[in-house]
Amino acid sequence: MQQVEHAMPSRQSAWDTAGVRPAEQFAYYREAICQAFMNLTPEPAAAPGFPASVEHVRLGDAAINRVSFPEHVVRRSAADIAESDRSCFYLNLKLEGRCRIQQGDREISLSPGQVGIFDSDRRFALLHDRGPQLRVASFWVPAEALRERLPASFDVAAARVSDDPYVGHLIAETARTLCDGALRLTEDEGVRLFRALIELVAVSLSRRSRAGAAEAEGLADATTLALKRAIHRRLREPGLAVADVAEVVGISERYVHKLLARSGSSFTDYVIDHRLDGAARDLRDPATADRAIGTIAFDWGFSDLSHFTRRFKQRFGCRPRDWRAKASS
């Protein structure tokens, strides 16, 4: 590929499809972004020709890529990842148009002025779908430059960091300043400003993680409470199954097990223990003194009297009839 303007400073490279035949423009653009970024798989637009430009400015180990293009989709496939020998995060400042970033189970949308981050080591799709001509400033962030500022084993999921209520505006302004002044600043000045940008992003991600963990913890607590209430409402039903309460609460059977394990129990033990508690209360209640032990057991969802007796003794240290006898003595 021939780059334009050979006399450019060594830390800058640029490509433009303007001087390329329309039928070859998309292939030229594809090769340019693979050189400027990493291995990527763009999908051609339906219209003939592909007016696009790519400008790469080095910032020490990092870089800014300023790209202009029509509507299209860019993917990073498993094969692209396997062929790359470095890891990075992309920090994108949207300049014109809109982009939807899909990675894992997340999708974020960037409009002009917004900044989002995503991981080169995970497959993604960039849907540049609101043009006709779109522009983005994409910061190539070495993975270690961000990870060294985050807690160990921190999971950096796709996120729109410019939304942060405390530092989001600083992230957007710093990204814009660095984008606009990349070549007016010396490389050392650019590197220092880039480090300040990554510090702000790390602060936002760490805050988001703490808030997300607290929110998830609160949601899990509320869901566990709803789950236990659903179990207690149907506690007397023989054959009560995980699927029955999962459907009522609106969660998966697997999540039922996870929530109960989180509170130190299994579904079976939780149900049996609370059935036994109910039966124990009835056995000591004078109002049910004339009812047979087997009837009380069956009323509390047990279908096997010997099993009920064995579990009752394990829980309370005596047989049901001895438990009842103690209450009347």
Note the pLDDT tens digit of each residue in 279-310. 999 999 998 999 999 999 999 999 999 999 99
Q: Is residue 106 part of a domain?
A: yes
Claim to verify: residue 78 and residue 156 sit in the same structural domain: yes
Return the CATH number at 191: 2.60.120.10
| Cα-based torsion angle of the residue sequence 30, 35, 39, 40 in order, rounded to the nearest 10 degrees | -30
Claim to verify: residue 168 and residue 297 sit in the same structural domain: no
- The total number of structural domains that make up the chain: 2
Q: Is residue 225 part of a domain?
A: no
Claim to verify: residue 246 and residue 284 sit in the same structural domain: yes
Q: Is residue 171 part of a domain?
A: yes
According to DSSP, the β-strands at 88-103 and 12-16 are unpaired
Query: What span, in angstroms and rounded, lies between the C-alpha atoms of 129 and 70?
Result: 9
Claim to verify: residue 136 and residue 208 sit in the same structural domain: yes
Q: Is residue 63 part of a domain?
A: yes
Phi-psi region of 250 (alpha: psi -120 to 50; beta: other; left: phi over 0): left
What integer pLDDT is reported at residue 5 of this predicted model? 43
Q: Is residue 230 part of a domain?
A: no
Claim to verify: residue 156 and residue 279 sit in the same structural domain: no
Return the CATH number at 250: 1.10.10.60
Note the pLDDT tens digit of each residue in 73-106. 999 999 999 998 889 999 999 999 999 999 998 9
C-alpha distances (whole Å) from 192 to each of 21, 61, 196 are 40, 12, 6
What integer pLDDT is reported at residue 211 of this predicted model? 58
Claim to verify: residue 193 and residue 246 sit in the same structural domain: no
Claim to verify: residue 312 and residue 276 sit in the same structural domain: yes
Phi-psi region of 270 (alpha: psi -120 to 50; beta: other; left: phi over 0): alpha
Amino acid at 19: G
Note the pLDDT tens digit of each residue in 124-140. 999 998 767 899 999 99
Task: List the one residue out of 226, 235, 231, 229 whose CA is nearest residue 281.
Answer: 235
Note the pLDDT tens digit of each residue in 175-202. 999 999 988 999 999 999 999 999 999 9
Q: Is residue 236 part of a domain?
A: no
- Could you please report the per-residue DSSP string of 232-295? HHTTTSTT--HHHHHHHHT--HHHHHHHHHHTT--HHHHHHHHHHHHHHHHHT-GGGTTS-HHH
Token pair for 253: 């059977």
Report whether 202 contacts 150 (CB < 8 A): yes
| pLDDT at residue 40 is higher than 80 | yes
For CA atoms 260, 261, 265, 270, the dihedral sign is positive
Q: Is residue 62 part of a domain?
A: yes
Q: Is residue 139 part of a domain?
A: yes
What integer pLDDT is reported at residue 70 of this predicted model? 93
Claim to verify: residue 191 and residue 264 sit in the same structural domain: no
Claim to verify: residue 186 and residue 311 sit in the same structural domain: no
Claim to verify: residue 150 and residue 16 sit in the same structural domain: yes
Claim to verify: residue 183 and residue 59 sit in the same structural domain: yes
- What is the extent of the structural domain holding 139? 12-214
Peptide bond into 132 cis (omega under 30): yes
Report whether 159 contacts 110 (CB < 8 A): no
228 — pLDDT class (breaks 50, 70, 90): very high
Greater confidence (228 vs 214) lies with 228
Token pair for 31: 């090769």
Q: How many CA atoms, within 13 angstroms, populate the side-chain half-sphere of residue 242?
A: 15
